[in-house]
């Protein structure tokens, strides 16, 4: 599976990955690369400044997974996108809670919401710092969903990468803000 898949939901929370990630290592590297013909796992911000992410997954209560959030900047030559630049915005850990989703909903009742998040912003994102860092974490640790709110500083979109460190699988709900 490549690192680019277009996610187009424009209103409300959308499931980031159609099937949860069970990856056990991070594989994306920062830098420039050719614009793929069919982007996978790319969440288009559609001109919005940022995104709100609520993590969930499968596994036992209090099991964890790590995540990274990558900014995607596009190069334009004429009227075509020719390349992308991947910049690590930050990383953290999600801890699953006893709280589960709703049968038949975007997060099903077999999946647990994360109620605890950590977030470490990478200092190399100077454009985002210059525009004002609006990144924030709500991490209640009380079986209610935690959320990460990020300022993407004008990037075209983001990619979220997962690494299972105890949970069976991980994913997130994502929403433009």
Taken as a whole, the chain contains a residue count of 177
- Residue 131: the pLDDT is 61
Give the pLDDT confidence score for residue 27 in this predicted structure. 92
Q: What pLDDT, on a 0 to 100 scale, did the predictor assign at position 139?
A: 95
Q: What is the 3-state secondary structure (H, E, C) of the chain?
A: CCCCEEECCCCCCEECCCCCECCCCCCCCCEEEECCCCCEEEEECCCCCEEEEEEEEECCCCCEEEEEEEEEEEEEECCEEEEEEEEEEEEEEEEEEEEECCCCCCCCCCCEEEEEECCEECCCCHHHHHCCCCCEEECCCCCCCCEEEEECCCCCEEEEEEEECCCCEEEEEEEEC
pLDDT at 68 over 90: yes
Q: What pLDDT sits at residue 92?
A: 98
pLDDT at 56: 98
Q: Average pLDDT of the chain?
A: 87
Q: In terms of DSSP bridges, do strands 41-44 and 5-7 run parallel, antiparallel, or are they unpaired?
A: parallel
Report the sign of the C-alpha dihedral through residues 30, 36, 40, 44, in that order.
Answer: positive
Per-residue pLDDT tens for 123-165?
Answer: 555 655 666 666 889 999 999 999 999 988 888 999 999 999 9
Task: Give the Cα separation of 50 and 68 in Å (integer).
Answer: 15
pTM: 0.88
pLDDT at 95: 98
């Amino acid at each position: 599976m490549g690192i680019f898949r277009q996610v187009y939901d424009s209103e409300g929370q959308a499931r980031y990955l159609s099937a949860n990630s069970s990856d056990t290592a991070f594989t994306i590297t920062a830098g420039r690369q050719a614009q793929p013909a069919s982007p996978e796992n790319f969440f288009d911000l559609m001109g919005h400044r940022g995104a709100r992410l609520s993590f969930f997954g499968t596994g036992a209560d209090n099991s964890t997974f790590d995540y990274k959030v990558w900014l995607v900047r596009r190069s334009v030559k004429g009227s075509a996108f020719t390349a992308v630049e991947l910049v690590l915005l930050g990383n953290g850990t999600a801890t699953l809670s006893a709280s589960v989703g709703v049968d038949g909903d975007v997060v099903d009742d077999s999946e647990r919401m994360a109620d605890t998040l950590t977030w470490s912003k990478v200092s190399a994102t100077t454009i985002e710092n210059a525009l004002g860092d609006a990144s924030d974490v709500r991490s209640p640790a009380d079986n209610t969903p935690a959320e990460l709110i990020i300022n993407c500083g004008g990037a075209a979109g983001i990619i979220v990468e997962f690494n299972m460190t105890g949970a069976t699988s991980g994913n997130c709900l994502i929403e433009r803000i």
